[in-house]
């Protein structure tokens, strides 16, 4: 299924007080819902519609529409050198955090980065969920620093909280 299929599916969806519109900020076509009930109906409809083709509907909880879907590690930078520098810093940070915290002894190395993303580390991963309510929670909450982490060049330290 393509974006065109998704747009057509949403245009065919009729929920009282809701409609398919173009987002002024991003230019993206979105389905605007006004109530939690309408959100549940729209997401359920899409899961049903695309589930028949064995396709998953995944949600991204974000506070705004971005021009592209880019991991936090690479947002706001241009060029391979900048990307390489951030990847190197990320690898150093993950190793340092794992060395300082015994819990990582029992976690495979390949799981460190995605796990640390949930504690505020900017990573090369993108969080997608299949539950619209979880995505909505992340869209309505922001992480705030409550401490520092060394090395100073680390993307973000582990001492973060949500509000």
Per-residue pLDDT, 105: 94
The mean pLDDT value of the chain amounts to 81
Structure tokens at 14: 């009729």
User: Prior bond to 151 cis, omega within 30?
Assistant: yes
Residues 6+ apart with CB under 8 A from 13: 20, 31, 42, 45
Least confident of 4-8, 10-14, 35-39: 4-8
Percent with pLDDT over 90 in the chain: 31
User: Rounded mean pLDDT of 143-150?
Assistant: 55
In this predicted model, what pLDDT tens digit does every residue of 80-117 receive, in sequence order? 999 999 999 999 999 999 998 899 999 999 999 999 98
In this predicted model, what pLDDT tens digit does every residue of 60-69 receive, in sequence order? 888 777 777 8
């Amino acid at each position: 299924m393509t974006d065109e299929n998704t747009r057509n599916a949403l245009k065919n969806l009729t929920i009282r007080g809701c409609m398919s519109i173009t987002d002024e900020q991003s230019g993206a076509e979105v389905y605007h819902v006004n109530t939690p009930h309408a959100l549940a109906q729209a997401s359920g409809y899409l899961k049903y519609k695309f589930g028949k083709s064995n396709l998953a509907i995944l949600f991204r909880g974000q506070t705004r529409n971005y021009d592209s879907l880019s991991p936090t590690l690479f947002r706001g930078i241009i060029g391979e050198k900048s990307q390489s520098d951030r990847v190197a810093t990320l690898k150093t940070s993950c190793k340092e955090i794992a060395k300082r915290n015994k819990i990582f002894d029992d976690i495979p190395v390949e799981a460190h980065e995605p796990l640390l993303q949930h504690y505020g580390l900017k990573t090369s991963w993108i969080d997608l969920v299949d539950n619209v309510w979880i995505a909505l929670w992340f869209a309505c909450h922001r992480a705030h620093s409550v401490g520092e982490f060394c090395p100073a060049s680390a993307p973000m330290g582990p001492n973060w909280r949500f509000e």
